[in-house]
Structure 1
Amino acid sequence: MARHRLILALVLAAVGCTSTAARNDEASSRHPSFATTTTIERQLSIDAETTAAVTPSTTALIGPASTRPDESPEVVELPGGIDDSLLGLHGQIRATAFGPNGDYGWGLSYYSGIWGHFNGRPPAEVLSVNGTSLIPDNWRYSQTLCPEGTSARASLSGHGPSYREVFQAIDGAVGYWPQTRFPSSQPKFRMSGNTDCYTTNTSNPGWVWKSDNEVIPGLIQLSNRVLVPPDGITFEATDGELLGTAWMALPLSQPYERSGVVVGDKSWTLFLEAANFRGPVAYWAPETWSRVTVNHPPAHLRGLDHREIDTEYRLFASHLNTPSLSAVVEGRDWSRIPELRFPVDSEGRTVFHQDVTFYGRDAVYDQVVAAVSGAPLPAAFDRSASIHAPLQTHRWELQHGELPVVGLEKFVQLEDWDTADKEGWAWGLQWLEQPGVFPSYFRREGSEWLAVNRSDSPSEMTSPDLVFPGAIRRSGYAPPLADGPAPRVQQALLNDGSVVRYTWYRFVEQPAVVALDLDDAQKAVLQSLVEQIHRQWGPNTIFMMPPSEGDLASIQTEVLVVPPTGAEVGWVPVVISQTAAE
């Protein structure tokens, strides 16, 4: 049987929201909440003959697409006396979800509002991301979880001696990232994680990640109905509609010994709830979390493959970072940032997150255990094993350059809201002046920057000649091909101006599973359970409780796929390239 390998040497940004403590540690030389770009070599082994057997005969595309050079950065001529900076408005807008007492660390779900800030491509270097982070419950554990040689031990010493907040994390968020390769007016959903004290990166499901010839276990493609482009899942046009997100512990494999440690049975699985898709998308292989504990006994049995998530409190954040233009006019310092637009409902609100829910073991985990022995899978998460977590906002925590920003409350306030049966149902912005338009103009007052109206700003700052350069389209993600025939592929055109190519694998033959080197018995059990999931959990099975208010967003239609004939169950699509459209 002919085989080939795809060798990937891509520069990928693994990004997401993570622990606040890590984000605020100024001693870190590497920003831990939005991981820096890292070059990682990966290998994909694809069975060309098997792949061709399940690809429709009309498919004529072969292998990954070729990348194009990066676009040249946009050059903007600014009037004299105007300076530009990448460090404009930055920081976090935050709320806390107060978790329950009891055994409710087996899952977390919530709804996020989705909207576009801009009419076209965002300005270069804009970051605007809404999400949260899940860490293992090691509360009151005082031994050192991060081994010597990890990034956290080197640069986040303030989190010692346990390093529990920077040990491991699951991230996932909707937003705009400076590292995106295909900037778009609409935000995207991306998933990432801190698997080993911020030392290595891993992101897109289905691929094999390697660093210094070591395989880095990571995300595994589970859905046979939705693609996961490396630049993020795209949506139809949105203006405040909601995306439901749930991370649930599922027992997709049994504990076993590997490299001298016990790998746990928790496969943390992403479920999405949209208007046109509902269900599991991908999961973190348990081996992802056990790897950092090898040869470090204090961390044994302390990773997310063994532990529930910390429910004491969860921070939900909107993380902002914009460029700025500044000038000195008549002896006073003035500044301007790109205009950020927000959707506003009939009550003058912009909702960031709502309906935060924690889950117990019997919400879905125990039912999947029973399914391995032949029982049917549950039709939804068991509501009797869930509990609402009220949200409460924090104060403003934004800066401009190195100085705090004040006066925002004249325009917009941070609020959390209740319903008749839910305290802290949602949180976000309550608008006062100019609803939906965040303050763009600032005047320095001593050691602070004061938000001001456009009408109170000098003409030098309000001039239409002042524009921000747009984000550029970069080369894309595409592996070079070697050692044999290329697979037949299908492709989808995305609304960010890119094309993804993907091919179908039998579930346990996707590269991310093959790299785990499971034995035949393990693979047989896993394949059987995934086939049951594909049969019984259709793309419109409603797992989460519907949102208390609001409508669901729609994933872009082209991202949704139908398995080819003969591969309706037990096969999954894996994206092998994402490049600029012709």
Structure 2
Amino acid sequence: MLRAWFLTSFTICLSLVLFLPQSPLIGADGAQKDGAQRDGAQKDGAQRDGAQRDGAQRGEMAGYLIVPQGEVQETYNAGFSLYVAAWPLLEEYPGNRFQTGLFGTWMHAQYDTKPTRRLYSDIEGGLGWWRDTRFATETPKFIMGGVALNFVEWANGPGAGKGRSWEQPKGKYGIAQLSPWVLWPMDGLNLKQGTSGDLFGYGYLPLPLTEAKPTTAGKDVPTGDQSWTLFLNTGNFKGPVAFFTPYFWSAATAEDPSLAGMFLDARPSKPNRALQMETQHIPSILATDNKGVTYARVAPSSFPRDADGKSTVVHRVTAYNKTALWDSVKEWFDGGSPASGAISPQGAAVHRFRGGGGATWKIYASRTAKEERVPLAWRSFATPVAPDPISYGFEWSPELTSKKDAKDGPLVGLPEYYRLQKDDNGKPLWVVVQPRDVPAETGLAEASFRRPDDSPLEAYVTPDDAASCWKTPGPVAGPFEAHPGDGSTVTYYWYRFADQPAILNADLTDQEREQLQKRVEKLHRSWTKDREYLPAPTTGKLADIDPALIVTPPKGLEVGYVPIATRQGIE
């Protein structure tokens, strides 16, 4: 989903659209797709993917795993949720050229008629690894991945976005912290280290936290009333976490009033979305033997494995209409009885699976022209299946894959070695070969994909100027520290909700902020972290957020206050 290579991803995804009409212009990044990245990304090629022998070529495996799903009625246009498997795709984290999402989706605005101009804007994000991840491990992280008009800005979490500096934040203020129980690091939301095959439940539904406005940034252009809110269902936290401020979407309309009402602050969501796994770079090495035959080795990669040997990677993809949550919350905020926060099944439609699907994974040397990249014979070892009508996954060839009994859960090892040959139509194809059949002179057996010696990791740091929105009005308690399993230290403070930097930059008057503060206090009192919100899965086990990021408000700050990260680095 949102990732760090927009132009490349857009080109790849556009080519997919030519033969996959239902695919989005930018395909699933996992992300981001790719789309949204975080600040501080290192330049391509800054690190090398492991040791290589003389004559070998550094390469990559990249492409999409495409998941077909049944459509639902267009009236289910108020958000979605799904469960996706979280697992260590690579045996060892190979360095920051590695970039891939796990399975995810793109949520675009729904239009009555097709716009006459390009208005790319959506919520992407998901689980994965990105080139600008500074504190990466084998365990994936989660980012929110909102894209403003044609990537002028993107936002990945509270304090995380496109901007390389706080003077030009470009999305860093686009997401506001809502939960008083979850701390969101700038580098992405950590899962518990070692998560392997458990289901991570998440979704986005709009909440009426603010009122629609007739002006935007002082211009006579309206901003809508939809705050698209991330809901999680994990083993140790359930409920809303953070939301995109309506101004994140509408800011572009202040410069171009003709776009008023065209984005997610005001538009419903498109219910039938692409569902894919987008891979931009898994390291590989290519070499040619003495007979001129080319072989490739891909970094050891795995999928989760259940008791039957299958991999369930997506479960219970659901679309909602406004009766699922919006209507009851709106009535509550207008003086009615409290809304429970539980999403009503009467306002939900579940997408169905029948198996099928495709893969566009290709192996190629670095800087190979797009038209010269060669696909691998994915279907020779992977068969898409629907274990049940609301789940999707794969069965594996026992001859070409291997069973791995990792300490954190059973895995299926994908083939590592491939030989370049012609298919039945005379086109080049990478076919699986056994390690013993790879000539020794290629040196592929000795190749290493281990993480290189990285340069010191740069810390994320927020402004320290006393006049900045981080200091005025400023926090009410702190500093505190959290130590997630990625080895970083996250420094955070407690802010009154309406005084957090994102809200101070959300184009709200003082009166509007105070009204928002009162609504959030209602949520904090009623919507606790141990209640059910998203529809529960009917299979599998829920993944956990890193326990270090589950926090408890200080005494007296239980309602109306939120934790805000101000620094993340290696001490």
TM-score (norm 1): 0.81
**1:476 pairs with 456, 459, 480, which one?**
459
Q: Is the 8 A contact 1:16 1:193 kept in 2?
A: no
Aligned residue in 2 for 1:341: 302
1: CA distance, partners of 2:169 / 2:303? 44
| 1:238-387 mapped onto 2 (5 Å cutoff) | 238-257=195-214, 258=216, 259-330=219-290, 331-374=292-335, 375-387=337-349
Letter in 2 for 1:476: A
Calculate percent identity across the aligned residue pairs: 27
Letter in 2 for 1:110: L
| 1:106-505 mapped onto 2 (5 Å cutoff) | 106-130=78-102, 131-138=104-111, 140-144=113-117, 163-164=118-119, 167-206=120-159, 216=171, 218-236=174-192, 237-257=194-214, 258=216, 259-330=219-290, 331-374=292-335, 375-391=337-353, 393-401=356-364, 402-413=372-383, 415-417=384-386, 419=388, 423=389, 425-433=390-398, 434-435=401-402, 436-446=412-422, 447-461=428-442, 464-470=445-451, 472=454, 474-479=457-462, 481-483=464-466, 488-505=478-495
Residues 288 and 343 (structure 1), Cα distance of their counterparts in 2 relative to 1, 3 Å cut: same
Residues 569 and 537 (structure 1), Cα distance of their counterparts in 2 relative to 1, 3 Å cut: same
| 1:52-67 mapped onto 2 (5 Å cutoff) | none
Note the C-alpha offset of 1:36.
5.9
Letter in 2 for 1:306: A
Question: Over the residues paired in the alignment, what is the CA RMSD in angstroms?
Answer: 3.0
2: CA distance, partners of 1:470 / 1:214? 31
Letter in 1 for 2:81: S
| SS at 1:543 equivalent | coil
**1:81 pairs with 43, 50, 55, which one?**
55
| 1:85-96 mapped onto 2 (5 Å cutoff) | 85=59, 88-96=60-68
Aligned residue in 1 for 2:515: 525
Higher mean C-alpha displacement, 396-405 vs 471-480? 471-480
Residues 379 and 295 (structure 1), Cα distance of their counterparts in 2 relative to 1, 3 Å cut: closer
Residues 207 and 33 (structure 1), Cα distance of their counterparts in 2 relative to 1, 3 Å cut: closer
Aligned residue in 2 for 1:33: 34
Residues 200 and 238 (structure 1), Cα distance of their counterparts in 2 relative to 1, 3 Å cut: same
Higher mean C-alpha displacement, 487-496 vs 293-302? 293-302
Q: Is the 8 A contact 2:37 2:156 kept in 1?
A: no
Residues 250 and 379 (structure 1), Cα distance of their counterparts in 2 relative to 1, 3 Å cut: closer
2: CA distance, partners of 1:344 / 1:320? 23
Note the C-alpha offset of 1:202.
2.9
Q: Is the 8 A contact 1:403 1:448 kept in 2?
A: no
Q: Is the 8 A contact 2:363 2:376 kept in 1?
A: no
Bigger RCO (CA 8 Å, 6+ sep): 1
Residues 15 and 325 (structure 1), Cα distance of their counterparts in 2 relative to 1, 3 Å cut: closer
| SS at 1:202 equivalent | strand
Note the C-alpha offset of 1:23.
4.7
Letter in 2 for 1:381: I
1: CA distance, partners of 2:442 / 2:82? 40
Higher mean C-alpha displacement, 525-534 vs 475-484? 475-484
1: CA distance, partners of 2:50 / 2:8? 36
Residues 459 and 429 (structure 1), Cα distance of their counterparts in 2 relative to 1, 3 Å cut: farther
Letter in 1 for 2:534: M
Q: Is the 8 A contact 1:491 1:500 kept in 2?
A: yes
Letter in 2 for 1:383: P
Structure 2: gaps (5+ residues): 17-24, 27-31, 365-371, 403-411, 423-427
Note the C-alpha offset of 1:340.
0.3
Higher mean C-alpha displacement, 111-120 vs 208-217? 208-217
Note the C-alpha offset of 1:227.
0.8
Residues 263 and 135 (structure 1), Cα distance of their counterparts in 2 relative to 1, 3 Å cut: same
Letter in 2 for 1:143: T
1: CA distance, partners of 2:134 / 2:517? 34
Q: Is the 8 A contact 1:114 1:238 kept in 2?
A: yes
| SS at 2:183 equivalent | coil
| SS at 2:494 equivalent | strand
Judging by fraction of residues, say which structure has more strand: 1
Aligned residue in 2 for 1:548: 538
